[in-house]
Structure 1
């Protein structure tokens, strides 16, 4: 084996590792559900007693709904 073949093999391994890392970054987020709507979060906070009805209505008004 000459030095040229060794360099090609090392370069191939590095490229494959980079491709695997890039693909794994994209597939990690596939299983997660999207973030909840801000109004839904406010509804949950209202149900839990973290905010008052007035604060919820203010948030709803700001959202334009």
Structure 2
């Protein structure tokens, strides 16, 4: 619910937001080891794909603002 509320605020102030893909990860015991490695291959692949999309989104936002990375 908090994420949806934050999105409505960001939209109101015309802030860029990554609307897709969405990532809702329900943490369960054994999902990650003590070193932060994801133990479920499908979840690891999903997170890698999401991070790639996030990286592209950030590059577009930074580029559109004329900010040097």
**TM-score band w.r.t. shorter chain:** 0.3 to 0.5
Larger Rg: 1
Query: Structure 2 length as normaliser, TM-score?
Result: 0.37
More helix by share: 1
- Which structure has more relative contact order (CA 8 Å, sep 6+)? It is 2
